[in-house]
Structure formats: structure tokens, C-alpha cells
């Protein structure tokens, strides 16, 4: 009798391979990279990891990214918030391996390799990137924050714009010359690039509106003060550029006061050097500190709360965790801390994204990060800006034109570049500000003033 045997191997193939990890050629679980923060640095890391086999999660407490260098133009009605911001999901939507989570991080469990968030389950990681940026430093006077907002968020920019524009409307109705002056006095605290840009923009806005739109106001009612505790404004720039900026601001009618430290801020006044200045608008730009991310790791931050990092951007002592941008304390080739600038964060993000690709996919160790200085810049006003490239410098119209080109190029996408360029050209030709909108609900503003009365 002939007998035949048939071995069904399909059932064996369906059985789980308990020893798969022992085979180096077998497919492995995708590596998980979690990025906290979707600013310049965080977005650069995510994009460099996009469309790879790496599983990327981006966590941010806001649903949008923001081009902060132009936020002062939102505050002074030159641009709208949508011109300089974009939903994070749109920015990263074309990368199928990237997931976006809207949540606020409350801590990190390095032992369990998880990120803790304010709602939902902890998010696991194999590599963690901290790109949480910075916030304004009120030097122990956090009660000033509500009265003197800074320029870090769209909410703050809209709050400043609301107060500025409403002050003009109230001054138009006032019969008291002293009240008019107080309403039309703006005090900017801090003589860095943000303070200088805000002072110049407010001066141009006020002069235009008084000349064209407000019949009962005159230039003598209008005053813009820029206060700096140090001996000169724009201390990070060479003195010849600082001198040019000071002269340009004076030409716009801005009063620059150096060596003056603020003693008190109330809803209706600022006290500086024993002098009380009545004002309806106070804007803070006196310094920044790192986000409080250092406490998630039990680390004592240095130089404004920044997290010490190694040359490859790893947090010292935590080989699976990286930090970059304003929240990280990285050193340049001269041994000095890298500045808290957008170009630093973006270069670090691009470097780290490619480095993680090499490490996770190819097992290669990347070379240390090197910062390439593309120049430092600040705009003072129409046709006036400064550029410091180290070996050579620019000021005036050419610097202003280069500043505009660089900032348009750095915007998040082509659509934003076109929108901002068209608006800038129109504004240059007509001097009109297209975003002069006041929130009809002025309760918060009035309540603040009444509390300080």
C-alpha cells in the first residue's frame, strides 16, 4: 500500500517567533522619538526625521507654531496672527510617521522612559528631545506680568495691540491734556532687539495715526520711552551699530533712557530712578529665562535655568535625552554659551534630526554640533536696521532690506512668504496698518486700570 505524507507548513509560519530578536536580520520594533515643543528647533528635528521608519511624536501645549521674530508686528497692527503662525498638524501633515499631540507636559519618568502629560496616558520614548524654548524673566516680580506683557505668544501680542489702539480711542475722547499724555505714553522695558523693534514700531504707528486718523490728538501728546538698565541698548552688538540705532530711534521720537532700572510697575504708572511716569501701555522685553524643563529631570538649570548639554546635544548624564534651543546651555567653539537665537535652535534641530537618523537607523555616532553664525540683526524702523556678521557690518537701508529678505525666507512656508511680502510692500507704499482691530470686549483692560487707580 502506498502511503503519502503532506506536511502543512502554513500553520508553522503563522506561529509567533519567540526568538525573532535573536536574528539580527529580522525586523525590529520602530524606534520612538518624542519631541516636546514645536518651535524652530522642535520642527527642524521633526522634519529631518520625516518619512523615515522612526516613530515620531511631537507634543506641544499650543496647536500652532509661531514665528516669534515678527510677533512685534502683530502687536503693532502691521500683521495678523495667521500671517506668522500655522497649525502644527499642517506643518507636519505630509510626514506619515509623525504624530502630533496637543497636551502640556508635566514631567518625565526617565526610568520608565515615558513623558507625563496633563491628560491621557504617559507617552513612551526611546529618545526624547526637549525643545521647550524660553519665557520672559521678571526677576522676582511675576506680579508685573499681567500689567507689562512680553512678546512670546499670540495672546500677548493681541493684548498689547488691544491696549495700544484702545488708548488712542480713549485719548481722542478725553478732555484732560494730562490724561491724553498718559494714555499715549508707551514704556518699553528692555533695550534688546525686541525692545528696540517694539519702540520703533510703536513710534511709527502712533505718528501715522495721529497725523491721519485722530483729529483731536497732536504729536506733543504722544511719547515712547525705551528703558534699559545697562549702559547702552543692544549690548550684544558693536558700539557703532548701537550708536546708529540710538540715533535712528531718536529720529522717530523715541526717548532712550539707559542706566535706568525699573523700581515699580502699576496699572497706570512706572517708577524708574525715583521718577513716576504715567502710562497706559507697558511692554516687557528685559530678559528671558529657560522654560522650567530642567526640573523634570531634577537638574539645577544654569545661566537663566538652561539645561547643560554635551557637544552632541545630549543632556549631561542622560544618554537618551537631548535638549536644544533656548532651554539648553550649549557652548560654542570659543567656550561661551550659545545665544538664545532662532538660528541656533534651527541649526541644532537640523543637526539633531540627522544625528538621530544615523544613530537609530545606521548605528553611527555623529560628530559634535557646530554653530555657524549667520549674523545678528535688529530692525529699528522704516529703512533702518543693523546687521552684525562679525567681520563686517551693515546699517541703514541695505541692512533693512536684507533683514526683510531673511525674515521672509525663514517663514514657515511659501504661502506665508507671499502674504507677508505683499503686505509689507503695500504698507511701505501707503504706510497703512491693516490689522488695527480692537476686541469689542474691553472688560479686561478696564478692570486692570481700575485696580491700579
- Which residues, in sequence order, are CB contacts of 442 under 8 Å at separation 6+? 162, 166
Rg of the chain in Å (alpha carbons): 26
CB atoms within 10 A of CB 111: 6
**Catalytic: 359?**
no
Rounded to 5°, angle at Cα 335 from 334 and 340: 95
Name the region of 305 (left: φ>0; alpha: ψ -120 to 50; beta: rest). Answer: left
- Which residues, in sequence order, are CB contacts of 204 under 8 Å at separation 6+? 76, 252, 381, 382
Task: Give how far Cα 211 sits from Cα of 184, 205, 214, 348, Å.
Answer: 14, 10, 7, 46
Task: Give how far Cα 127 sits from Cα of 115, 193, 303, Å.
Answer: 11, 35, 25
Residues paired with residue 269 on neighbouring β-strands, in sequence order: 278
Quote the CA–CA distance of 440 and 453 in Å, as a whole number.
22
From 86, 135, 156, 197, the catalytic residue? 197
Quote the CA–CA distance of 122 and 105 in Å, as a whole number.
10
| CB-based burial label for 290 (10 Å; 0-12, 13-18, 19+) | buried
Quote the CA–CA distance of 279 and 268 in Å, as a whole number.
5
Residues known to be catalytic? 197
Amino acid at each position: 500500500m502506498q502511503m503519502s505524507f503532506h506536511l502543512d507548513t502554513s500553520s508553522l509560519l503563522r506561529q509567533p517567533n519567540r526568538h525573532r530578536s535573536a536574528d539580527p536580520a529580522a525586523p525590529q520594533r520602530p524606534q520612538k522619538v518624542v519631541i516636546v515643543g514645536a518651535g524652530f528647533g522642535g520642527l527642524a528635528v521633526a522634519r529631518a526625521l520625516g518619512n523615515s521608519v522612526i516613530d515620531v511624536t511631537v507634543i506641544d501645549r499650543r496647536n500652532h507654531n509661531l514665528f516669534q521674530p515678527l510677533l512685534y508686528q502683530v502687536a503693532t497692527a502691521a500683521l495678523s496672527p495667521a500671517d506668522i503662525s500655522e497649525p502644527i498638524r499642517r506643518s507636519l501633515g505630509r510626514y506619515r510617521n509623525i504624530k502630533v499631540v496637543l497636551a502640556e507636559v508635566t514631567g518625565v519618568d526617565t526610568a520608565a522612559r515615558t513623558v507625563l502629560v496633563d491628560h491621557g496616558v504617559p507617552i513612551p520614548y526611546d529618545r526624547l528631545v526637549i525643545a521647550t524654548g524660553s519665557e520672559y524673566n521678571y526677576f522676582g516680580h511675576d506680579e508685573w506680568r499681567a500689567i507689562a506683557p512680553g512678546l512670546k505668544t499670540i495672546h500677548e501680542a493681541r493684548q498689547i495691540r488691544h491696549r495700544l489702539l484702545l488708548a488712542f480711542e480713549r485719548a481722542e475722547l478725553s478732555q484732560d491734556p494730562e490724561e491724553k499724555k498718559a494714555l499715549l505714553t508707551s514704556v518699553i522695558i528692555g533695550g534688546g532687539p525686541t525692545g528696540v523693534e517694539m519702540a520703533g514700531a510703536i513710534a511709527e504707528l502712533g505718528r501715522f495715526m495721529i497725523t491721519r486718523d485722530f483729529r483731536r490728538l497732536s504729536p506733543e501728546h504722544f511719547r515712547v520711552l525705551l528703558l534699559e538698565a545697562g549702559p547702552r541698548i543692544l549690548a550684544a552688538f558693536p558700539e557703532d551699530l548701537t550708536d546708529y540705532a540710538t540715533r535712528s530711534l531718536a529720529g522717530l521720537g523715541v526717548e532712550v533712557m539707559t542706566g535706568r532700572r525699573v523700581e515699580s510697575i502699576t496699572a497706570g504708572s512706572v517708577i524708574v530712578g525715583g521718577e513716576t511716569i504715567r502710562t497706559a501701555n507697558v511692554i516687557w522685553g528685559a530678559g528671558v529665562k529657560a522654560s522650567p524643563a530642567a526640573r523634570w529631570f531634577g537638574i539645577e538649570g544654569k545661566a537663566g535655568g538652561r539645561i547643560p548639554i554635551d557637544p552632541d546635544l545630549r543632556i549631561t548624564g542622560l544618554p537618551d535625552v537631548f535638549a536644544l534651543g533656548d532651554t539648553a546651555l550649549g557652548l560654542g567653539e570659543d567656550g561661551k554659551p550659545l545665544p538664545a537665537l532662532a538660528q541656533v535652535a534651527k541649526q541644532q534641530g537640523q543637526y539633531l534630526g540627522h544625528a538621530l537618523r544615523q544613530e537609530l537607523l545606521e548605528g553611527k555616532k555623529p560628530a559634535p554640533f557646530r554653530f555657524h553664525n549667520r549674523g545678528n540683526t535688529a530692525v529699528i524702523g522704516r529703512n533702518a536696521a543693523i546687521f552684525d556678521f562679525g567681520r563686517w557690518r551693515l546699517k541703514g537701508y541695505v541692512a533693512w532690506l536684507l533683514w526683510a529678505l531673511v525674515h521672509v525666507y525663514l517663514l514657515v512656508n511659501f504661502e506665508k512668504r507671499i502674504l507677508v511680502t505683499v503686505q509689507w510692500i503695500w504698507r511701505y507704499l501707503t504706510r497703512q496698518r491693516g490689522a488695527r482691530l480692537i476686541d469689542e470686549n474691553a472688560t479686561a483692560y478696564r478692570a486692570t486700570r481700575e485696580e491700579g487707580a
